Each structure stands twice: as structure tokens, then as C-alpha cells.
Chain A
Amino acid sequence: MSTDEQQQDAPASEVPQDRLEAMAAERDQFKALAQRAQADFINYKRRTDEERPNIARTAVGGLLARLLPAVDDLDRAVDALPADAPASWAEGVRLVRQNLDALLEAEGVKRFTPAPGETFDPAQHEAISQLPSAEQPAGTVLTAVRSGYRYGERVLRAAQVVVAREPG
């Protein structure tokens, strides 16, 4: 019998006890690590599966949110069209705005403009100031300064409003 074979066949009792314990501890350590890694992976997979449909939405939502200031600018341009502007040119600018609205709507983005008297709701409205008002009850929207946008359930951008307070 060669030396190698002798070592392989050596009964466990011949392995020093402390070495056995160290090996067992190391085994437990790696086992725990493997279990944790597996649990991490299962959770990660579940979450990415759940999030997958949202990832596209989040990416599109991010792009749309950045696009909205340009839409606001176009709104202002339409509002400020000079009276002596050539009719066909003015109509063209309005059509660009309409097309953009149609595109946003097709993507599931909905514009909302709170009406005066609507209850102020910080979940979708952002108060930029507060003014005394006899027409609207306190705590309601006095005027909308900038429209808000919803993308599915999510508020892409809150509508900026002036909130009414008690007069005097």
C-alpha cells in the first residue's frame, strides 16, 4: 500500500480533533454563505420580475418629466402668439402643441389642471403661494399656475397652485 492510499484510507479518528472542528466550522460558514446568497438571489429575482414592467415605465417617466418644461415653454409660446402673426404660422404652432399632447396621451400621460375651488391635495398639488380670497374657500385651489401630469398611477409632476386663505 502506497503512502497516498494510506492517507486516503485513514479513519476520521486519526484526523486531529481540532482540525475536524475547524473544518466543520468552515463548512457551516460556507453553507450559511451559500444559503444567504441563494436567498438573496431568489429575492432579487422576484423583485426584478415584479419590477420589469415598471423599469420601462420609470425610464419613459424620467424622460417625459424632463420633456415637460419644454411643453410648458410651448404652451407659453402659444399663449403669447402675437395678434399680427401670420394665421397659417400661428395655426402651425398650435398644431405642434396638439400633436405633442396627442403623443403624451398615447403614452399614457395625462395632463391635469386643478379647477378653482378644488380641495388642495399635496399628493398631487404643489402650493407655491397662498392668497386671501373671498371667492374660494380657504384651503382650496385659487388658481393653477402650472399643469400637473400623471403617468399611470404615478404623479409625474405635481400641479403648481396658489391656495386660497381666509380674507383679511
Chain B
Amino acid sequence: MAKVIGIDLGTTNSAMAVMEAGEPTVLENTEGGRTTPSVVAVNPKSNERYVGMAAKRQAVTNPENTVYSAKRLIGRKFAEVSSEIRSLSYEVKAGKGGDAAIVMGGKEHTPPEISAMVLQKLKADAEAKLGEPVTQAVITVPAYFNDSQRQATKDAGTIAGLEVLRIINEPTAASSPTDWTRRMTRSSPSTDLGGGTFDISILHIGDGVFEVKSTNGDTHLGER
């Protein structure tokens, strides 16, 4: 049975894992890292594309064609992201249907297309590690993501050649492997200090069912 990979598609970094003997195991990328920077770039002269650490390392030489924090734009209208754009080094404009569109290498890309490039690298690295094709994935999103943002994240997976079996809330994914969640009924906080954001959610867990009661945080606390 082919493996399903679980992907944490982060604002700053992404990670992937598979279930092995009932336990999640994080897979290293080909560079040997347990996380991959969620950064994509195109060299305007050679048209070469960089994803992950290589894209991050060349960022200062090519800021206008280095796309990071695409998660802040995914599934959102151009009109909604004016405050986000001010802190970005690449151009964002209104694309089809008023959606935010990213200009990289002189071409317009949708945020799901950019995220798909990160997912493609994760998929390829997972395949190299597992020695078998990976076609199915579960991707996590912040609990506060709306339907449009969830759908756009799913689209990113599809573009990357992955069948997205489910979109899971990040705090739910973080809490679900713990043993007590299978046995207890309780409310519990879940905090996530990431590279770009800090999120806190209050979950109610009962009979293995997770309900996000409320969520808050600072969407600009962290590296970027």
C-alpha cells in the first residue's frame, strides 16, 4: 500500500512525515534537513528555478524574484492583502477574479502555483527517501483559514500532482498523535510558534473528535 504523506505547509518552513507502524516519522529532504524553507525563486537570466534552501540562499541577490510567505496570500483577494504586500520584496498584483497574483521571473503566478512548487520538492524528496511513488497527501492549514484558503491549499496539492485526501487544522494535527487524546474528554490549548506566525487554539477533544473552539495569535510574530 502506497504511503500517504502528511505535509505541514508553513509560512516560513515546511515539513513532511509518514506513518510508520502507527507512529509519525518526519522525512528528511535531500539536503538532510527536517524542514524545507517555503521559498521559491527564479533566476531571471538563466530561468533556473530554485526551491527551498537554495532559493533562500540566493534571496539577497534576487529579491524581486524570490517568493516567500506565499501562505499569507493563498486563497485571498488582492484587496485583502494590501497590508501584507508592504513587507514583501516581490510584486503582488490583482489577478484573475481579483485574486492576489505573484510576479516571479516576469510571469504571473497564483499563490497555489507557488505553494505547489514547494509541495513538488517535498513530494520528490519523500519519493527519494521512501523509494516509492507518493501520490496522496494530507496537508495542514491554520485553524483560522477560511474555505477559500483551504480550497486554494488543496489546489496547490493538486497542481503538485498530489491527491489531497484531507485538509487538517494545524492544532488538530499537532494534538492528535498524543495518546491521552484517544482516551480523554477535555479542553486543551495548542500553541504553535512558527517561523512566521504564532498561533494559539483552544481545542475540545472527546472520543477522538477534535473541535477547534477558538483561535487567535499574532500573524507576524517570527522570522518574517
Contact = CB atoms under 8 A, between A and B. Distances in A.
Interface string B48-62: 001001110111110
B20 A44 contact: yes
Interface of A: 36-37, 39-41, 43-44, 46-47, 50, 58, 61, 120, 122-123, 125-130, 139, 154-155, 158, 163, 165
* Shortest 10 CB-CB contacts between residues of A and residues of B: A122-B58, A122-B54, A126-B57, A122-B57, A127-B61, A163-B61, A127-B60, A130-B61, A123-B54, A40-B21
**Interface SS majority for chain A:** mixed
B32 A58 contact: yes
B21 A155 contact: no
A153 B1 CA distance: 32
B58 A120 contact: yes
Interface residues of B, number: 19
A125 B31 contact: no
B21 A37 contact: yes
29 contacts: A36-B1, A39-B1, A40-B20, A40-B21, A41-B21, A43-B130, A43-B131, A43-B132, A44-B20, A46-B131, A47-B130, A47-B131, A50-B131, A61-B32, A120-B58, A122-B53, A122-B54, A122-B55, A123-B54, A125-B57, A126-B57, A127-B58, A127-B60, A127-B61, A128-B60, A129-B60, A130-B61, A139-B61, A163-B61
A148 to B, nearest CB: 11
Nearest to B45: A139
A154 B59 contact: no
Interface string B102-134: 000000000000000000000000000111100
Interface in B36-82: 45, 50, 53-55, 57-61
Nearest to A126: B57
Contacts of A50: 131
Contacts of B32: 58, 61, 154
Contacts of A158: 57
B60 A155 contact: no
Contacts of B54: 122-123
A39 B20 CA distance: 10
Contacts of A58: 32
B50 A122 contact: yes
A37 B129 CA distance: 19
Contact of A154 (B20, B31, B129): B31
Contacts of B31: 154-155
Contact of B61 (A43, A47, A120): A120
